[in-house]
Amino acid sequence: MYDYVIVGAGSAGCVLAARLTQDPDVSVLLLEAGPPDANQNIHVPLGYLKLAGTELDWNYFSAPEPRCDGRRIPLPRGRVLGGSSSTNAMVYIRGNPRDYDDWGVPGWSWADLFPYFRKAEDNERGASDWHGAGGPLPVSEQRSGNAISRAWVEAAVQAGLPRNDDFNGECQDGAGMYQVTQRGGLRASAAAAYLHPATSRPNLTVLTHMLVHRVLFEGTRAVGVAASQLGHVQELRAAREVILCAGAYNSPQLLMLSGVGPADHLRLRELEVVLDQPAVGANLSDHAATYAVWGTEEPESLLLAREPAALEQFMATQTGPLASNLAEAGAFVRVEPGVPAPDVQFHAIPVQILEEGTADPEGHGMLVTPCLLTPETRGCVRLASDDPTARPIVRNDFYASERDLERMVAALRLMLEIGAQPAIAPYCTTGMVVPEDDSEEALRAHARRTTFAIYHPVGTCAIGSVVDEQLRVNGLERLRVVDASVMPVVPRGNTNAPTIAIAERAADLISGAAPLASVTSPAASA
């Protein structure tokens, strides 16, 4: 018997486990389906490229996407201590203040969340009006030194974008280098930042290789979970609450496996209905992205990471190609006239990635990917069967909204314009995967052929429909969801930092601590 049973040791689960066990009178059990984060490719930043499809990856795929040439799109998710923060590209982006204000949920506006972003942060630049220092989560400058990334920023400026040295500062618009969740050139996952410093506490128990099958109920009250480890099924009890932190795919899957979801769907999967809740698994929102790849004769890409000199450099100084987070540079832009905030984000990657990483690079080069920040399309997560080991069915339904496709075409035009500027010309000499031309038809075809999900799923247990303002599951007792699935809409940017901020605030809600005072900050005008 534990006070709290937390399911999932990803970004949110690690934060909650660390924060709740600061009270020595509270006992916490943290369950993770994957292994410990011992693989060295987690901690050497560029090493995460070797983790896809391994035991550290849930290795999900979407259902066939009807408007993307019927392709099943890869959906990698971290299955390890730290979750996807142990396998992601480490980009630190909070989103735009308007994102949280537009949720319209009391307690979850930008003014409410901004103090938690700062509480979590330990920015290499030091404390300021917009940043925190001394928090658990390191935020650092790029250490790779690759010339292509900085050349792309210069090309974006030549194309008319403003230069932006801090996407999390006064204004989000513009082009610049991303800050990353690293310390001293090593990945700073949520496990490294929050969980490992807390593991010596006697009131924290962490169990890995634990696949949770379902939440246990007595009536409408959650009392624990059933989980298996090495095939042995056991029941683990919670005296206070069960907290699902399994992510935007697995949290709704677990609710449905537990009898909480659309009643007709559950009955078809031969599951007993505890609560008919059609919103569970609905409202899936992710950033659709497309890409182009160029080759160059200049020996400047991250292929240099294969050279013995790169390993020697990293071992000596934790700099160079192996310190790269891959998505080193980027931009936030407005492609649709009159929008109140950026609607497209770019990631510039100084290496060729062909056939979604399944083909070898043909030489040095780069990849640029624009993604839609404010998609209108919504998908869903559903059960394939009542077997907890079965992968969920994920339908993104990209471009169900025609407006989404129109904005993607505009983003591709801007991508090509940046790629034609003098600063980046030496690194974009040969088109490897590019639109046939800049016609509407060619750009639409390119989008259908190359669109992928950029790994920012949210919304499937949204505040206001599935959970209340305290993140408690509506209609049930002693059950909460705390992860990216509670965001009603995907924010304008990468989702790791917002998930951590949500978990920081949730820890105060759960423990009964007074929430950090909401503020009107300079960033609130961004």
| Model pLDDT for residues 347-388, shown as the tens digit of each residue | 999 999 888 777 888 899 999 999 999 999 999 999 999 999
- Nearest of 91, 111, 116, 96 to residue 172 by alpha carbon: 96
Asked if residues 100 and 139 have their Cβ atoms less than 8 Å apart, the reply is no
As a residue count, the chain comes to: 526
Looking at the domain 143-177+288-374+399-450, which fold is it? Cholesterol Oxidase; domain 2 (3.30.410)
- Residue 106 tokens read as 């009391």
d(CA 310, CA 140): 20
pTM for the full model? 0.97
| Model pLDDT for residues 445-499, shown as the tens digit of each residue | 999 999 999 999 999 999 999 999 999 999 999 999 999 999 999 999 999 999 9
Q: State the average pLDDT over residues 321-335.
A: 98
Q: State CA 445 to chain mean position distance.
A: 27
| Model pLDDT for residues 70-83, shown as the tens digit of each residue | 999 999 999 999 99
- Residue 16 tokens read as 């909650």
- Nearest of 116, 188, 179, 194 to residue 142 by alpha carbon: 179
Residue 328 sits at φ, ψ, to 5 deg, of: -80, -40
Q: State CA 453 to chain mean position distance.
A: 11
Kindly report, as residue ranges, where domains of CATH 3.30.410.40 are found in the chain.
Answer: 143-177+288-374+399-450
Q: Is 456 a catalytic residue?
A: yes
Tokens 């965001």 locate to: 487
d(CA 331, CA 167): 8
Q: In the prediction, which pLDDT does 526 show? A: 42
Please state whether 141 falls in left (phi above 0), alpha (psi between -120 and 50) or beta.
beta
d(CA 244, CA 108): 19
Q: Is the pLDDT of residue 1 over 60?
A: yes
Q: In the prediction, which pLDDT does 32 show? A: 98
Domain 1-140+186-281+457-513: give its CATH architecture.
3-Layer(bba) Sandwich (3.50)
d(CA 121, CA 134): 7
Amino acid, res. 214? R
Q: In the prediction, which pLDDT does 355 show? A: 81
- Residue 507 tokens read as 């820890």
User: Between β-strands 174-177 and 329-333, what pairing exists: parallel, antiparallel or unpaired?
Assistant: antiparallel
| Model pLDDT for residues 110-119, shown as the tens digit of each residue | 999 999 999 9
Contacts of 466 (CB under 8 A, 6+ apart): 252, 255, 277, 279, 280, 460, 473, 474, 481, 485, 486
d(CA 89, CA 77): 12
Contacts of 287 (CB under 8 A, 6+ apart): 345, 371, 372, 373, 375, 453, 454, 456, 490
DSSP letter assigned to residue 32: -
Kindly report, as residue ranges, where domains of CATH 3.50.50.60 are found in the chain.
Answer: 1-140+186-281+457-513
Residue 473 sits at φ, ψ, to 5 deg, of: -70, 125
Q: Is the pLDDT of residue 525 over 50?
A: no
